[in-house]
Structure 1
Amino acid sequence: MTIEPVRSKRRPILIALAIAVVLAVVAAVVVIALTNSAGQQRRESLALLKDDRLTVLVEARGKVQPAVNAYLAAYKKARNAPASREDAEKNSVKEREEFQRAIESARAALSDVQAGASTGGEEHGIGVAAAQLTDSYQGYLDSMEGLVESYPQFEGLFREEAGCSGLFVGSKAANLRERQTLLGQAAVPCREAVNQLKQSKSIAYVEFARTLDNEIAQLESHAETTAKSEENYNEFVRLKDEYVKKVDDATARNASEEELFKIADEVKALNTRIKNNRSEFDFAAKRYLNGVKEMPTLVEEVFSKNVSAQIKHHDTVIPLRVQVLKDSIDAELAE
């Protein structure tokens, strides 16, 4: 009689546990391998971002400003030929296209930087630094684009088609009321052009347009005051003649002291009105002339002061943003 060996019930359990352990070990090895691979890819991506993409970004920005200057110079030269706005745009189309290529290259470089820094989340040091750089860089590109796109509007403000040159009507008017009327007529198309310029992406143009709009309102106000003062003066001349006649009549009839004192009080009141009117006229006339005289300076300072200050700001901030992003990358690579 053959006795079969009794199989242990623990053996399948042990085998299953062994297989589970092996699978767990294999899975852990796979996870570690994938993690190491992803980490290596991340490090390579960051190195590419720092050494290549940021370099391209800086170089692309360096080509924008010369392209802006070339277009502005070409357009202004064509406009002063003289040429119409349409002809000036045609004669500067080459420079405009070169500027557009420079802007597109800069935007493409910025997109590459954003893509390279996209991992890690917004709270990640690299993500925050990249977002700050993007804001500054995008602001610079928008500003330069606005300078070019709106330059024909800005440059043509005081040419005949915009009507703002009609604001300077002093020598064309026979009197101050006519000057005020002509100024009001010229202000209509001028203000329309100014309102269009307020839509520019250039902060410098927008600030200038707002200032000019305020200056136009001030000129209109001062023109109205001086015109009214001139009319008042003519009325005062008429009243003065009446009072001279009234004094002569009272003297001829040997009028009472009471009547003479009353006439004297009326003359005194008239003199006060004349004095006040003269003060109002002098104040408004001075402000009006100053507004006219300062207008060329206001236009000139758009580029000599405002644009140059904004460019200087970007030239200071953007390199700092680039360096902060590089430092953030170095910090992560060092971990």
Structure 2
Amino acid sequence: MINSVSALVLDGLAPFEFGVICEVFGIDRSADNVPNFDFKVCGPQAGVPVRTTVGASLTPDYDFSSLLGADLVAVPAISGVEYPQEALDALRTAADTGSIILTVCSGAFVAGAAGLLDGRACTTHWMHAEELARLYPTAKVDRNVLFVDDGNLITSAGTAAGIDACLHLVRREIGSAATNTIARRMVVPPQRDGGQRQYIEQPIPVGHSEGFAPQLDWIMQNLQHPHTVASLAARAHMSARTFARRFVEETGRTPMQWVTDQRVLYARRMLEETTLDIDRIADKAGFGTATLLRHHFRRIIGITPSDYRRRFACEDCAATA
């Protein structure tokens, strides 16, 4: 059960992510039968402002000592990768003495600097996932999810995913009724399907070799046709074994994995930009059937084609889903 929540703020604070924490835990909703949290904002010095990323300042009422003993310590997005040692010490001590640690977006880097990600499953904004994994190589960084619940450590992906993580924690610790009430007041779904994969821009890979690039270009222009390793190898005037080896060297994927990836990305663009129905998109992308398209699309992107179109397409395209 969470009764007390302390938010850690530092220079470089991102206001939106901080606002998410305040919205879920800092507002008195006892009139709606939601438990009221003892909410504190903690910075380097009580009464001394910290700078935010938008040219405004925020003044905490408490210092880092008020992180200790809180049921939940929430760390919003904070720019940079160097933080005051006293903040890291307080965060580590809070975790060691039983506090749940929740990070939003790049707040995971603060937890990492405090040693809290070592050997733990975690996530952050997809744009920063590789950097987080590089800085903290024992952390198990998952860039494909909205948040990771690893017991007393909950990390979330970028921006709005912090809402998902906060509401998940409320549901876990207090129950669905409180979660639904908070979500309704925030005008957000109490739980979203899918993960970060639906938001990640996946550029079309290109070969490192100019000599092999035409093979990839030709496949991209002919995705609607059936392909096999043997047929692609024959067109490239190579044996199937040599072609497959060269292909992996160039793209990091097997030929058929790469073809499937590109078909899904092509389908994704058509879902965003056209009003074609799912059957027609499946045909043009080379899947042949809508069933096969749905299978691979959900596996790679994380949600169904229809759900993707409703979320990301123009208004006219979404109406055809």
**TM-score over 0.5 for the pair:** no
Tell me which of the two structures has the higher relative contact order, counting C-alpha pairs closer than 8 angstroms and 6 or more residues apart.
Answer: 1
| Greater gyration radius | 1
Higher strand share: 2
